[in-house]
Amino acid sequence: MTQENVSTGTWHSRTAQVAGWKITALCDGFLRLDGGAMWGVVPAAFWRTMTPPAEDNTILLALNCFLAERGEHKVLIEGGVGDRWNEKLRGIYHINNNPSITQALGTVGVAPEEITEVVLSHCHWDHCGALVVEQDGQLVPRFPGVPVYAPAIEIAVCQNPDPVRAASYRAEDLEALEQAGLLTGYQGTTEILPGIEVHELGGHSDGVSVILIGEGSERAIFWADVVPTTHHIQPPYIMAYDLDVARSYSVRSEWIGRAADEGWLGLFYHDPETSMARIERSGKRFVVAPAGI
């Protein structure tokens, strides 16, 4: 399945089977962020070949949400960027909401009302913005009645961010969900439902978590912004956005190594070309092997 999006990126949906779960790569459009911010201390001479910048130094990023289906569960992993953006911000971030999460679901034959749970890794605006839509001048949940699970600390920070964090959160993204009684906070390592487990790591943000799908040795890992694209798989390739770089290095070293050693399927939120890939060791470095069909 392919949907053309000529102005920014092209969505290539992928599917994979993991421990009885059918995992489908969805998309809530594309945006562009500053290449230097996405690559931190990595020299431009390195990253420019991997993620070529435009004239304004921004690089193309996707918003790849994922659908995990098993039994009666149709779980949406991550909440997109949404379309509640004024022209100024839309221009700065080059936000292109084509396809929207609803359109992407439609393309793979799933109606929004079929979603049973939503699980979020953290509450930055590009990870939860699509969960609320404006209707008759009011903000309402896009998936009415569907519970949304997010790290408790992320919910708290989103509702009242300090100046360091303010640019990354919008309280309005969660208010309508909370008022509807749909929002549940989690912390540490938590089983959201059988076969869906979250691990709170921190580093990138206060409570950023990875989401594991499956059981035993057969698992997929949603990397969130811990590893935003397949190009960021070397542990020192840490974004300038990360709050606690030392923590990021430590959790990235541990979890990237673990994913490689266990053969987990990686799900990459921001990669515009490779939404699913396994990480493998190659000497002291890591390499990717794209996966899914």
Please tell me what DSSP assigns to residue 207: S
Of the pair 32, 124, the CB lying nearest Zn ion is at 124
Q: Residue 194 contacts by C-beta under 8 Å, 6 or more apart in sequence? A: none
> Which residues are near Zn ion by CB under 5 A?
124, 225
Contact 13, 84 (CB under 8 A): no
DSSP 212-243: EEEETTEEEEE-TTTS-SGGG-STT---TT-S
Of the pair 110, 227, the CB lying nearest Zn ion is at 227
Q: How far is the CB of 47 from Zn ion (least distance, A)?
A: 18
Of the pair 74, 231, the CB lying nearest Zn ion is at 231
Q: How far is the CB of 121 from Zn ion (least distance, A)?
A: 8
Contact 32, 229 (CB under 8 A): no
Q: How far is the CB of 239 from Zn ion (least distance, A)?
A: 8
Q: How far is the CB of 128 from Zn ion (least distance, A)?
A: 10
Q: How far is the CB of 178 from Zn ion (least distance, A)?
A: 20
Q: How far is the CB of 151 from Zn ion (least distance, A)?
A: 12
Of the pair 74, 170, the CB lying nearest Zn ion is at 170
Q: Which of 22, 149, 138, 135 is nearest to 79 (CA)?
A: 149
Residue 272 backbone dihedrals phi, psi, to 5 degrees: -75, -10
Q: How far is the CB of 204 from Zn ion (least distance, A)?
A: 6
Beta strands 117-119 and 132-135 are unpaired
Of the pair 63, 115, the CB lying nearest Zn ion is at 63
CA distance 189 to 244: 20
Of the pair 47, 241, the CB lying nearest Zn ion is at 241
Q: Sheet holding 66-70: strands in order across?
A: 15-18, 21-25, 66-70, 73-77, 117-119, 148-151, 183-186
CA distance 67 to 151: 19
Q: Which of 98, 81, 154, 101 is nearest to 123 (CA)?
A: 154
Contact 124, 151 (CB under 8 A): no
Contact 210, 223 (CB under 8 A): yes
Of the pair 225, 271, the CB lying nearest Zn ion is at 225
Q: How far is the CB of 95 from Zn ion (least distance, A)?
A: 15
Of the pair 206, 225, the CB lying nearest Zn ion is at 225
